[in-house]
Structure 1
Amino acid sequence: MTSRIHAFDALDNFRDYGGYDTAAGRALKTGRLFRSAHQASVTEADLERLAVFDLGVVVDLRRPVERRRQPSKRAANFTGQVLESDLDERGEAPHITFLKSADLTADSGRTFMTGLYRDLPFAPAHLDLFGRYFRALGETDRPVLIHCAAGKDRTGMLAALTHHLAGVHHDDLMEDYLLTNTAVDLVGRAPAIAEQLKGFTGREASNDAVVAFMGVEAAYLDAAIASIEERHGSIDGYLEQALGVDAALRERIAERLAA
């Protein structure tokens, strides 16, 4: 397993998304950019390991209902800033509606995920948190952790935007996004996840359907990027127009993250 992935007792998909080369001929620092799933189930040993990273900013991309259902645990000596949004307070999460109502097949999972990604960059809470995250990157010299529930979709989108802003090659950007499929071992865990879904929905899901829904595919991120380009002309246009990331902020972020 790649050295980017850090093993915990009960924290999935924790990994360093720094270290990639950039178009400026420099590399992103390692030990500064981290991504993961939620921290509601972490053990005391996990909290001790997290404390070692000295996180200065934690960006929780989950909805309020998700945060209430699975509240994050923090080490007693945690001194970082936590960024959250309450803009999606009402309504059921789209993936919950899908699991309750749609046919749980690989094709339906891929169709749902592709549609989800086309809308993901424009949800009010995401616009709010993505913009605040980039402003934090321009201000802090301490490590930053971004996470959602599984650490793959909302988190994957934000990590990809970070890589683009920093000048990471698209191939590396996509490789990092797809690393979720290695970090979580979905194929190996699919039967257990299928059982959990059965208990939740009362319906059977094939292993292929679980992997399609719980994993990531290049087509998902491609759909988000295409949607961004349709509305803003380019990812750079989206960063500036939708998130307020101007040239000065980009320069501050690049300087702070460059090795």
Structure 2
Amino acid sequence: MIGNISTKSVYLPCINNMVKEEVNNYQERTSLLTMDKAIRKAQIIREKYSKEASLKLEAKGNWSLYAGSSVDTINRTMPILTGNGSGSFFLSVSTYSRVYFELVCGNERLILTERHLPMAGGYNFRDLGGFRTMDGRYTKWGKLFRADELSNLTADDLKYLSSIPITSVIDFRAQSEARRSPDKLPSTVHFTYPIAITPGNLSSEGIQANMLKTNIDSHMKHMNRLLVSNPACVRAFRIFFAIVQNNLSAPLIFHCSAGKDRAGMATALVLFALGVDEATVMDDYLMSKIYLSDKYDAFIAKYPRAESIFTVKRMFLQAGINQIKRDHGSIMNFLTKELKVDVVRMRRLYLE
């Protein structure tokens, strides 16, 4: 497990317009389909506090949207919404439970749900579904989730997560940090796995130690190198993949304090194992800067020198990726030889 944040989180009423635009631009890039398709862009958005859902769509022609409590239970006999062309559309669906959608336009079909989960007590809570792989497949929705700390989740948040239903939780924080800010877990969780990864510690002690560094950017790059080269970290990620590859583990949350460093590297490694390209992996990593802005902006305003500790930069993850390639020749070598990832099994479990 690894460091819990002892700096107080400041909950702001909403994401500002600039942040919303950046989030939308990213979601549009990751949902971008072939330009000659009838469905060009499609995404589900849930409001953080009300959990109300909407569909943002760019499409040509008539379309229908179907819904269900899981991908397998989508009711394809009666659409919840029909339309023609592009627009933003309010969806009259439950705000207490997760819903999965199938969008049908002509002979095209697309499975959808929200990438960024509407956690009133969380910030960087995301589904790893919906990413296109280099061989044209898609990662499954509703199986693997990355998150920041779970200690502030509300009763409604927990009810929402229970509807998925979350079965397992992996906590990358240190034991002392987890004791200070224990996870609040949905009632459906049967398995919890504390896997300590020390680099990335965001406890008050960890923050103070990091702020003493002469060059914090250099320190953050070094930390990302350690995540993939330090024997204890490598061992932790090997255990992480052993759990993920157990078909009884998912739906599964893995998290740290901010969901950007330890959980960020874990996400990158999972997506690489599933065949997602490096540019997409980096785009996803960089979204932590947007999703965490409300959480840490007040602290950064007070202590500007700490900014790099509480954000992400391309050079940070790139340092880790470059370290893997230097040490192992390729990311796939690192995954299969060092972390003992069964790529065939991973793709059978987590790709459509």
State the TM bucket, normalised to the shorter chain.
0.7 to 0.9
Structure 1 CA distance for aligned equivalents of residues 192 and 231 of structure 2 = 18
Question: What is the TM-score when the length of structure 1 is the normalising length?
Answer: 0.82
Structure 1 unaligned spans of 5+? 196-203
- SS of 2:215's partner is helix
Change (3 A) 1:11 1:125: farther
TM-score (norm 2): 0.62
2:147 to 1, 18, 36: 36
Question: Aligned pairs, how many?
Answer: 240
Where relative contact order (Cα < 8 A, 6+ residues apart) is larger, the structure is 1
Instruction: Quote the Cα distance in structure 1 between the aligned partners of 2:178 and 2:332.
Output: 31
Measure how far apart 1:135 and its partner are. Answer: 2.3
- How many Å separate the matches in 2 of 1:95 and 1:111? 20
Contact kept in structure 2, 1:84 and 1:129, CA below 8 Å: no
Give, in whole Å, the separation in 2 of the partners of 1:230 and 1:129: 20
Code of the aligned partner of 1:212: S
| 1:21-170 matches, cutoff 5 A | 21-75=132-186, 77-85=187-195, 93=201, 99-101=207-209, 108-140=215-247, 142-170=250-278
Could you tell me which of 327, 332, 335 is aligned with 1:231?
Answer: 327
User: What stretches of structure 2 of length at least 5 have no aligned partner?
Assistant: 1-22, 28-44, 46-114
Is 13-22 or 135-144 further displaced after alignment? Answer: 135-144
Structure with higher strand content: 2
After superposition, what is the alpha-carbon deviation per residue over 1:91-132, rounded to whole angstroms, capped at 9, x for unaligned?
A: 994875564256579x83312211111111234553333222
From 290, 296, 303, the counterpart of 1:205? 303
Q: Secondary structure at the match of 1:59?
A: strand
Alignment partners' CA distance in 2, 1:146 and 1:152:
11
Matches of 2:137 and 2:210 in 1, distance apart? 46
Aligned partners of 1:92, 1:139: CA distance in 2, in Å? Answer: 26
1:33 to partner: Cα distance: 1.8
Distance 1:87 1:216, change over 3 A: closer
CA positional deviation for 1:134? 1.8
Highest Rg: 1 or 2? 2
Separation in 1 of the partners of 2:145 and 2:271? 12
Identity %: 28
Deviating beyond 6 angstroms after TM superposition, the runs of 4 or more aligned structure 1 residues are: none
Given residue 85 of structure 1, which amino acid in structure 2 is its aligned partner?
I
Looking at structure 1, the residues matched to 326 and 200 of structure 2 have their Cα atoms a distance apart, in angstroms, of: 27
Contact 1:58 1:81 in 2 (8 A): yes
